Structures are given as C-alpha cells and as structure tokens.
Amino acid sequence: SQKIEQNSEALNIQEGKTATLTCNYTNYSPAYLQWYRQDPGRGPVFLLLIRENEKEKRKERLKVTFDTTLKQSLFHITASQPADSATYLCALPDQTGANNLFFGTGTRLTVIP
Amino acid sequence: KAGVTQTPRYLIKTRGQQVTLSCSPISGHRSVSWYQQTPGQGLQFLFEYFSETQRNKGNFPGRFSGRQFSNSRSEMNVSTLELGDSALYLCASSLEGSTGRLAKNIQYFGAGTRLSVL
C-alpha cells in the first residue's frame, strides 16, 4: 500500500533562513504531488502542485522539487518569516486513481524571530 | 466566491449517540470529500461524492456514512459514536471531476468540525 513520510514532525528555523521540508513516498509512482499549509484550527490550504515530468516549481518564496527516482519531494521556503509558521502537508493522489488524496502526517514549522 | 462551509464548528456528544455533519462546497464544485484528522493518524480519507454518488471510500467502519444532494451539499453521519471518533472532520471540495493521471484534484478545505465524544 502507498506510504508517505515527512522527515520530521517539527522543524525550528531562524527568521530569514531557508526552511527545507522533505516528503518521501514508497510503493507508488504518482502523476503529481501537492503541498498544503495548515494553521491551527483551520483546514489545509493548497500551495503548490508539481507533476511527475516537472523537476521544480516555484511560487513567490516557495519552491518544490520532485525526484521520481528517489521518490522524494523537497519543499523550500526562502527568506522565512514568523508568518510562515504552520504545519505543512504533502499529498499524493490515491494510487487506485480515485479522486482523493493521501496525506503525510505533516511537519510543524516554527520560524523564530 | 464563498469557500467551503462546514457546520457546526464544534460538537460534543456521548458514546452511543449519532451525529450529522454538514458541508457546503464552493459553488460549481461537484466533488466533495471527507477526511478525519487526529494527532496520531493525521488526515485520513473517509469518502468522496460526485454528482450525488459515492465514488470512493476509505478504510472506515460502516458506522461512517455520507450522502450528497443535488446542489452538491454533503452530509456525513456517524452512528453509535465511540471515544476514538473524537477528531477534526474536514470536508473538501474539488472542481475536478476527472480521475487518473491528468487530474489535478486540488482540494479546497473547510475549517472543519471538531467532534468530541465523551
């Protein structure tokens, strides 16, 4: 069965530095991978989608890479700010092809001023 | 456009009771999915509805059920509540109706219903 692992449950980083979050998956070759942000007491919010034939995707200070050989995605936030503090979730499509997502457990990022 | 609306936001029930949660998707979205989120298990898929039909179901017992109405609004029902059902229940709507490798399936989530079972 498909499995997603996000490298750490929590990550603390100094303001202004680049935060790097890791998402590894097994037993699957997804057509795309998504990243979401979740703040306490709120539902996840979509950030970026990257397809299997794309190596890198950028949106403002966010950058996502997708290595289908390593079965890994890296999520970078450059020039991090305290407002970036949240839990970040990676998600894959269900390997059966159904229209739902399979989520990792998330990494809680804290940006220290 | 209004976002996904879930009601109620908070709910307290006792074991053995049943509960119904409601979700209004973004206008024009026909796919509605439900997820359960707990600290230990993370976000787990419950079921997905598209055009009033359940298209896919996660690995949850039959006590968990749902339905979708012709206006795409959806309800989720949990019968015979157990302590372990305490969780944040999230509804998400998606514009994409397609499945397979070309789909994007971006999910737009509501704020969730926090269910506490005592």
Residues of chain A in Cβ contact (below 8 Å) with chain B = 31-32, 34, 36, 41-46, 49, 89, 91, 93-94, 96-106
In this predicted structure, the answer to whether residue A19 has a pLDDT above a threshold of 70 is yes
Q: How many A×B Cβ pairs under 8 Å?
A: 75
In this predicted structure, the answer to whether residue A67 has a pLDDT above a threshold of 90 is yes
Q: What is the CA radius of gyration of chain B?
A: 14
Q: What residues of chain B score a pLDDT lower than 70?
A: 96-103
Would you call B50 and A41 a contact, using CB atoms and an 8 Å cutoff? Answer: no
Instruction: State how far the Cα of A11 lies from the Cα of A78, in Å rounded to an integer.
Output: 15
Write out pLDDT tens, residues B22-54.
Answer: 999 999 888 999 999 998 888 999 999 998 999
Contacting residues of B for A87, CB less than 8 Å apart: none
**What are A99's two structure tokens?**
């229209």
Write out pLDDT tens, residues A21-59.
Answer: 999 998 888 889 999 999 998 999 999 999 999 989 999
